[in-house]
Amino acid sequence: MNSITSLRKRRKTGRLTRIVLLISFIILFGRLLFVLPGAFQHHQDKKVDVELLMTTQPASKK
């Protein structure tokens, strides 16, 4: 009897763990999708700023 009870508890706990992990991964994936456009735009802006800096200021010779 005791082994049957513990088997039922394990199955329920395993199912609950899977549900919590699934929800966590969905939230993590959603945050990634939310942040990607801003990160890409920031990268493009930084790239343009560096190119402008290089074209407007000639290299100094020592």
Residue 15, pLDDT above cutoff 80: yes
How far is it, in rounded angstroms, from Cα 52 to Cα 12? 60
Q: What share of the chain is helix, strand, coil (3-state, %, to 5)?
A: 90, 0, 10
| pLDDT at residue 51 in the model | 80
Mean of the per-residue pLDDT values of the chain: 83
| pLDDT at residue 55 in the model | 77
| pLDDT at residue 3 in the model | 64
Report DSSP state, residue 60.
P
Residue 54, pLDDT above cutoff 90: no
User: Which pLDDT tens digit goes with each residue over 29-39?
Assistant: 999 999 999 99
